[in-house]
């Protein structure tokens, strides 16, 4: 459990980090996914470029219509942030459910989404929140819709020579609400099934919905059939039974020693209804 030899470089700005980043190097955020992978020699970078001392990347800014979370913000700082609690409650709630206090104090939102573990919480939550991912590279910066960012098993739209700098979260409208529910792996607290739900209502009737899952398939996904079925109806038990029948209809469900395919699919329905009942 000792990593292969590597060089350590600490960057004081994103520009400096980009200029240091060589072909076989890796960005170091909180190190809570990368260091274990290096100890198992699944990852053997020539150099680690540490971005954890770049204060700007840790900022959480309340703008008029959005809240911008720096990629280096820890899960704990996101869970505690007042504007997020008020204007994007699902974000603060999900952050507080990640791992344990040590993981939340070191792990960062940017590191989590760059890593894109299929059982991580942020991917489902950011899909339901309709987030934008801000990415810096040598020629400037680009913004990617979350729907295009997660592309498969541990795969994202991020290129090797790029750094995630921020995540933009739209503030909830007055008629909207969101929440996150997960069935946890008891040791790590990763999601065996995590369901993030965001709905807008017109009176009792759902006018739009974004429902996303982590842990169910080999990549996070939005259950678009459920989103369509929810529209125009209320959140009564009868309507939820009908709408949530299709939670896994577009994906192939994972099976492992924590949960069989059948059990996971069942949990996905249970946790979708649990989240939607709260809204």
Ligand X SMILES: Cc1cc2nc3c(=O)[nH]c(=O)nc-3n(C[C@H](O)[C@H](O)[C@H](O)COP(=O)(O)OP(=O)(O)OC[C@H]3O[C@@H](n4cnc5c(N)ncnc54)[C@H](O)[C@@H]3O)c2cc1C
| 3 is a contact residue toward ligand X (CB under 6 A) | no
Count of C-beta atoms within a 10 Å radius of residue 18: 18
Output the six-digit token pair for 164.
């995630």
| 108 is a contact residue toward ligand X (CB under 6 A) | yes
Q: How far apart are CA 156 and CA 126, in angstroms?
A: 13
The interface region with ligand X, picked from 4-12, 110-118, 195-203, 215-223 by CB under 6 A, is: 110-118
Please, which of residues 188-227 interact with ligand X by CB under 6 A?
Answer: 188-190
Q: How far apart are CA 44 and CA 257, in angstroms?
A: 28
Please, which of residues 19-58 interact with ligand X by CB under 6 A?
Answer: 26-34, 51
Pinpoint the alpha helices (H) of 62-140: 75-79, 82-87, 89-95, 101-106, 109-115, 121-129
Q: Closest distance between ligand X and the C-beta of residue 71, in Å?
A: 4
| 156 is a contact residue toward ligand X (CB under 6 A) | no
Strand partners, 177: 199
Nearer to ligand X, 169 or 244 (CB): 169
Please, which of residues 115-134 interact with ligand X by CB under 6 A?
Answer: 115, 120-122
Please, which of residues 170-189 interact with ligand X by CB under 6 A?
Answer: 188-189
Q: Closest distance between ligand X and the C-beta of residue 231, in Å?
A: 29
Q: Closest distance between ligand X and the C-beta of residue 52, in Å?
A: 8
For ligand X, which residue of 21, 60, 78, 110 counts as binding (CB under 6 A)?
110
Report the sign of the C-alpha dihedral through residues 255, 102, 157, 85, in that order: positive
- Phi/psi-derived region of residue 169, left when phi > 0, alpha when psi is between -120 and 50, beta in every other case: beta
| 273 is a contact residue toward ligand X (CB under 6 A) | no
């Amino acid at each position: 459990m000792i990593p292969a030899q590597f060089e350590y470089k600490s960057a004081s700005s994103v520009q400096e980090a980009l200029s240091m980043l060589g072909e076989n190097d890796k960005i170091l955020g909180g190190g809570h996914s990368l260091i274990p992978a290096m100890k198992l020699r699944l990852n053997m970078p020539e150099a680690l470029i540490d971005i954890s001392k770049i204060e700007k990347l840790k900022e959480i800014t309340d703008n008029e219509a959005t809240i911008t979370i720096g990629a280096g913000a820890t899960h704990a700082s996101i869970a505690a942030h007042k504007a997020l609690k008020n204007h994007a409650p699902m974000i603060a709630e999900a952050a507080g459910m990640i791992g344990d206090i040590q993981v939340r104090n070191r792990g960062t939102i940017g590191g989590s989404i760059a890593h894109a573990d299929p059982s991580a919480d942020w991917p489902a939550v950011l899909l339901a929140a309709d987030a934008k991912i801000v990415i810096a590279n040598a020629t400037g910066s680009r913004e990617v819709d979350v729907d295009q960012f997660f592309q498969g098993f541990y795969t994202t739209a991020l290129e090797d020579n790029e750094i995630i700098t921020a995540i933009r979260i739209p503030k909830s409208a007055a008629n909207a609400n969101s929440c996150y529910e997960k069935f946890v792996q008891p040791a790590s607290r990763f999601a065996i099934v995590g369901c993030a739900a965001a709905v807008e209502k017109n009176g009792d009737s759902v006018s739009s919905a974004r429902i996303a899952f982590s842990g169910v398939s080999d990549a996070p996904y939005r259950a678009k059939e459920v989103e369509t079925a929810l529209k125009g109806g209320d959140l009564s038990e009868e309507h939820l039974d009908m709408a949530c029948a299709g939670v896994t209809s577009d994906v192939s469900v994972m099976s492992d020693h924590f949960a069989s395919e059948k059990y996971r699919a069942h949990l996905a329905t249970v946790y979708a209804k649990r989240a939607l009942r709260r809204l």
